Structure 1
């Protein structure tokens, strides 16, 4: 079974939602047969790379609320994250354009290190004092190396604005086609969609239902052709 997760590094509910999903997946009896793929979704795709600023004023402006209310929202998110065992800085975080991080996530996917990198990005953005936006490409390279990627490979991607750009845009188009207008957005076997950072119990129910409804394998032909099994391999017959 395949689970696809559309998310953005700048999305706090994606950070929390990933932890809740993983809690459900860890307890799922068939977890070793579940493939998890992370898909790209930018909350602010038109944002200039030089536009980097503090989170609280951004929230206040975006939602038309006071900065006090915005800070209260961040404090609430911190509480929600802590309940999932996640560190979360409720003060002095910044935000910015996440396109380069998504491109590096596609590099990581090609090398089988995608989940490691997205978790490192989340932790760096939401829990660590150093910025993933203000320090430039070398900060992202450092994080990519921590996920097991080669530093030169990461630098080559960042130096080429076209590297994996089409993959990011393809993910975003697909999200729109599936009706996702926010993240996190989970798709199970292209049959069930789950929007938002739902409780772990919701993910457990969805995983169980999706697994139970998988169609049985249909054999196209079984004409006694030679094969190998637990007792050994069939002796070739003269034809």
Structure 2
């Protein structure tokens, strides 16, 4: 069985949702027969590579939040992350284009290191002090920590056309499937789960997808996702 996960490194609910899904998968009796594929979805596809700004500033400008609202949302996300055992820096993080990161994830897939790279990118973006958007060598360091070759990574980053079509194809397919926010999980092209749902929901989805055959059916939607209108923060 294949599980495809559309997500973005800049999406905090994707970071949390991945942890919840993995808890469900770890307890799933057929986990060794489940292939997980990470697919590309940019929350800010029009952002230029050099356009980097603090997350709080981005939230206030792009979504019209007050600084207090933006900080409260980050504090809530930190609490959600902590409940899953994840570190989360609420202040001092940057926001920028994730296009190069998605291209690197397609590169990593060729070497069977996609899962390692996306986790390393999440941790670097949400838990570490140094920005993942400030220079390409930062991405090289992260990719090497995930088991990729530094020279190969530099070649990918130096040519913006490498895997660009793969990223855009993923994003088109997400739209065709009706995904207007991430994380978005598609299980064996039978069921879809939208948002950072509780672990129990992912357990149910894995079980149903394993035992039944049906067209894609959304089990849950519009909860704890990041989309063009921002990140839901109850």
**TM-score, normalising length from structure 1?**
0.88
CA distance in 1, matches of 2:46, 2:69: 26
Deviations 1:70-119 (A, max 9, x none): 10000000000000000000011111000000000000001000000000
Q: How does 1:121-132 map to 2 (within 5 A)?
A: 121-132=121-132
CA distance in 1, matches of 2:117, 2:205: 26
Deviation (angstroms), 1:62: 2.5
Deviations 1:102-150 (A, max 9, x none): 000000001000000000000000000000001x111101111000000
**TM-score, normalising length from structure 2?**
0.90
Paired position in structure 2 for 1:4: 4
Secondary structure at the counterpart of residue 6 of structure 1: strand
Deviation (angstroms), 1:213: 1.1
Deviations 1:177-216 (A, max 9, x none): 101011000000111111000000000000011111159x
- Do the aligned partners of 2:24 and 2:199 also contact (CA within 8 Å) in 1? yes
Q: How does 1:63-142 map to 2 (within 5 A)?
A: 63-134=63-134, 136-142=135-141
Q: How does 1:10-21 map to 2 (within 5 A)?
A: 10-21=10-21
CA distance in 2, matches of 1:110, 1:39: 13
Deviating above 3 A after TM superposition, structure 1's stretches of 4 or more consecutive aligned residues are none
- Do the aligned partners of 2:190 and 2:213 also contact (CA within 8 Å) in 1? no
Paired position in structure 2 for 1:202: 201
Deviation (angstroms), 1:63: 2.4
Paired position in structure 1 for 2:220: none
2:150 paired with 1:166:
no
Paired position in structure 1 for 2:26: 26
Deviation (angstroms), 1:61: 2.3
Q: Which ranges in structure 2 are unaligned for 5 or more consecutive residues?
A: 215-234
Quote the RMSD (CA, aligned, Å): 0.9
Secondary structure at the counterpart of residue 38 of structure 1: strand
CA distance in 2, matches of 1:100, 1:60: 25
Secondary structure at the counterpart of residue 77 of structure 2: helix
